Amino acid sequence: MKVLWLAAHPEERSLNSSLKNEGIRTLRDHGHEVQLSDLYAMKWNPVVDADDFGHSPTDRLHISSAAHRAYTHGTLSPDIRTEQEKVTWADTLVVQFPLWWYGMPAILKGWFDRVFIRGFAYGIDDPATGQALRYGDGPLTGKRAMAVVTAGARPSSIGPRGVNGDLDDLLFPLHHGTFWYTGMSVAPPFLVPSADRTTPAAFEDTAARLRTRLLELPSTPPLPFRRQNSPDYDPETLTLHPDLAPHSTGLALHYTDAP
Amino acid sequence: MKVLWLAAHPEERSLNSSLKNEGIRTLRDHGHEVQLSDLYAMKWNPVVDADDFGHSPTDRLHISSAAHRAYTHGTLSPDIRTEQEKVTWADTLVVQFPLWWYGMPAILKGWFDRVFIRGFAYGIDDPATGQALRYGDGPLTGKRAMAVVTAGARPSSIGPRGVNGDLDDLLFPLHHGTFWYTGMSVAPPFLVPSADRTTPAAFEDTAARLRTRLLELPSTPPLPFRRQNSPDYDPETLTLHPDLAPHSTGLALHYTDAP
pLDDT of residue A40: 98
Contacts of B46 in chain A (CB under 8 A): 46-47, 106-107, 110
Number of Cβ within 10 Å of residue A60's Cβ equals 12
Contact check, Cβ <8 Å, B102/A172: yes
Can you tell me the ipTM of this complex?
A: 0.97
Contact B178 A101 (CB under 8 A): yes
Indicate the Cα dihedral angle A94, A96, A102, A107, nearest 10°: -110
Query: What three-state secondary structure class fits A225?
Result: strand
CA distance linking residue A50 with residue A126, whole number of Å: 30
* CB-based contact A162 B61, cutoff 8 Å: no
CB A158 within 8 A of CB A193: yes
Task: Taking residues B164-191, report their average pLDDT.
Answer: 98
Could you tell me the pTM of the whole model?
A: 0.98
List pLDDT tens digits, range A227-259.
999 999 999 999 999 999 998 889 999 999 998
Measured between alpha carbons, how far is A93 from A90 in angstroms, rounded to an integer? Answer: 7
H/E element, A145: strand A144-150
Give CA–CA dist B30/B24, Å, rounded.
10
Contact B125, B133 (CB under 8 A): yes
**In chain A, domain spans:** 2-223
Do B99 and B150 contact (CB within 8 A), yes or no? yes
Q: How far from A234 is each of A84, A227, B37, B163, CA to CA, in Å? A: 33, 12, 41, 9
Q: A101–B249: do the CB atoms touch at under 8 Å?
A: no
Contact A94, A6 (CB under 8 A): yes
CA–CA distance, B137 with B134 (Å, rounded to integer): 5
**For residue A122, what are the CA distances in angstroms to A52, A138, A139, B17, B197?**
18, 6, 6, 26, 18
Identity of the residue in B48, B110, B238 whose CB atom sits nearest the CB atom of A157 = B238
The nearest CA of chain B is from the CA of A30 a distance in Å of 31
Q: Is the distance from CB of A25 to CB of A18 less than 8 angstroms? A: no
- Chain A residues close to B61, C-beta within 8 Å: 10-11, 13-14
Which amino acid does the sequence have at B230? S
Alpha-carbon span B171 to A239, nearest angstrom: 19
Q: What is the mean pLDDT of residues A4-8?
A: 98
Q: If pLDDT is split at 50, 70 and 90, which confidence band does B187 have? A: very high
B11 vs A contacts (CB less than 8 Å): 50, 60-63
Question: What is the length of chain A?
Answer: 259
pLDDT at residue A198 above 90? no
Given a contact cutoff of 8 angstroms between Cβ atoms, the answer to whether A119 and A80 are in contact is: no
- In the predicted structure, residue B190 carries a pLDDT above the cut 90: yes
Distance between CA atoms of residues A26 and A3, nearest Å:
12
Q: For residue range B217-247, list pLDDT tens digits in order.
A: 999 999 999 999 999 999 999 999 999 999 8
- Residue B138 clears pLDDT 90, i.e. is over it: yes
Q: Are A40 and A107 in contact (CB under 8 A)?
A: yes
3-state SS class at A110? helix
For residue A197, the model assigns a pLDDT of: 87
Q: What average pLDDT does this structure show over A29-39?
A: 98
Q: Residue B254: CB partners within 8 Å, gap ≥ 6? A: A163, A165, B176, B225, B226, B240
* Nearest Cα to Cα of residue B110 among A42, A46, A173: A46
User: With an 8 Å Cβ cutoff, are A113 and B135 in contact?
Assistant: no
For residue B99, the distance in angstroms to the closest alpha carbon of chain A comes to 10
Quickly count: other Cβ atoms within 10 Å of residue B21's Cβ. 14
Interface test with B, best of A18, A43, A47, A182 (most B CBs within 10 A): A47
d(CA A61, CA A48): 11
What class is the B2-223 domain?
Answer: alpha beta
Distance CA A228, CA A182 (A): 11
What's the mean pLDDT in B155-169? 97
**In the predicted model, what is the mean pLDDT of chain B?**
96
A251/B169 touch (CB, cutoff 8 Å), yes or no = yes
Strand bridging mode A185-186 / A144-150:
parallel
Q: What is the pLDDT of residue A196?
A: 86
Nearest CB neighbour to A113, from listed B60, B101, B159? B101
Nearest alpha-carbon partner for A87 in A26, A172, A174, A145: A145
CA distance A92 to B26: 49
Residues 6 or more apart whose CB falls under 8 angstroms from that of A252 comprise: A245, A258, B249, B250
Please name every residue paired with B162 in a beta bridge, in sequence order, or none if there are none: A239
